[in-house]
Amino acid sequence: MEPISVISCLVAVVIMVAKASGAPPALFIFGDSLVDSGNNNYLLTNARADSAPNGIDYPTHLPTGRFSNGLNIPDFISENLGAESVLPYLNPWLQGDALLRGANFASAGVGVLNDTGFQFAHIIKMPQQFNYFMEYKERVAGMIGLPATDSLVAGALVAICLGANDYVNNYFLLPFSLRQLHYSLDDYHAIVMLEYKKHLQKLYELGARKIMVMSVGPLGCAPSQRASRSANGECHAGLQKSAADFNSLLKSTLDELNSHFAIPVYTYANSYAMNVDMMTFPEAYGFKTSRDACCGRGRFNGLAPCDHLARCCPDRDNYVFWDAFHPTEKASRIIAARFMNGPPSDMSPLNLKTMMQLDL
C-alpha cells in the first residue's frame, strides 16, 4: 500500500470515530452577503466589508469581510453545532483539519440569477460557487478518499441564502431595471424560482442531504429601502409584498422537492418572520431601534455603506441593523438560535437540531 493510501485510510478512520463520538458535522454555506464570511476580500469588487468599523466587535476587533460588527449567522450556526467557524473557500488557510470542517462559498452581491449583481463586478456567481464545491470535494477526496468524502458531505449541514439581491439589486434596482422593462413581477417571480429550484437540485446532486434554505427577509424594511423609497420611514410595501410572494413560492418549491424523499432533505428557514418579529417588537429582544442602521450615512444611516467614512453608533446591541442591509451580531445570534430550536412556524418541516439528528 502506498503512503498516501495509508494516510487516507487513517484520516477516514478518524472521521468515522469522530462521527460515532458525536463530533460536530461539517458545514457548507452558499449564497450572498448575509452569509459571506470574507470571500469577497479576495476579489476585485466593490461589494466588500474589509474596512473598519466592520468587525469592531469581532474577537480581533478587525474587519474580516463579514457584513457585521462581529460574528454573522454562519458563525452562530457553527457555534450551535458545537463547531469552529468555517473559513471562506478563498482563504489560503483553508487546508488540513480546517478543510474537513467545511467551507463557506458565499459571495456578497450574488443572486439566484446570473445577471444579478453585475454592478459589483467580480463576485462568485452561483455556478462558480458550485464549481468551488466540486473542487472542494476533490481536495478532500485526495486527503481521505471518495467514500469518506461522500459521507462527510451527506452528514453535513448545507445552508443557502439567496434571493434578496434579485429584487433589491435587480428587478427593483434604482434608477431603472432592464428586467422590469421586460417582465411583469409575477413572471419574474417564476423565472427566479425556476432557477432557484435548479440550484437546490444541484446541491442534492453534489451529495448534500441536509439542506437549510433561508427565506428572504422583509426587504422593504431594510434601512436602505426606508431611506430611499419611503416618505416617512415606513417599510416599502412593494418590496414587502415581493418578498412575501417569493417566500411563498420558495416554501411550495421545497415542499414539492421533499415529496420525492422518505426523509426531508430541505428545510425552510422563515427568516422573514424572524426579522419581522424583531422589527415589530424590538424591545422584547433587547433592542431600541429597528429602523436605523448602526453604521452608515444619510437618512436612517441607510444611504451609504459602512466604511471608514461612516457614522458608527457606540451601542451596537441596541440596533437590529448593523448597516443598510445586514443584521448586527446580536440579531444574527437570535436568528441562528431560532434556526436551531425554532417551532414549525420558524423552521419547516424540521429545525436544525432535529435535522442534524437524522441518521441517513
Alpha helix segments (H runs only) across 56-125:
73-80, 97-100
Is the distance from CB of 207 to CB of 140 less than 8 angstroms? no
The closest alpha carbon to 156, from 208, 106, 234, belongs to: 208
User: Is 326 a catalytic site residue?
Assistant: yes
Q: Which of 32, 166, 277, 323 is catalytic?
A: 323
The active-site residue, picked from 8, 32, 33, 107, is 33
* Residues with Cβ within 8 Å of residue 242, at least 6 apart in sequence: 167, 171, 172, 185, 189, 219
Contact of 161 with 36, CB cutoff 8 Å: no
**Which residues, 6 or more positions from 105, have their beta carbon under 8 angstroms from its beta carbon?**
28, 29, 30, 39, 89, 124, 129, 132, 133
Q: Where are the alpha helices (DSSP H) in the chain?
A: 3-20, 73-80, 97-100, 126-144, 146-155, 164-166, 178-182, 185-205, 223-229, 237-258, 271-280, 329-341, 352-355
Q: Which of 189, 199, 236, 326 is catalytic?
A: 326
Give the C-alpha separation, 177 to 171, whole Å.
6
Start-to-end Cα distance in the chain: 31
Is 107 designated active site? no
The rounded distance, in Å, linking the Cα atoms of 324 and 317 is 16
323 is catalytic: yes
Q: Which residues pair with 83 in a beta bridge?
A: none
SS3 277: helix
Contact by Cβ (8 Å): 256, 219? no
Active site residues: 33, 323, 326
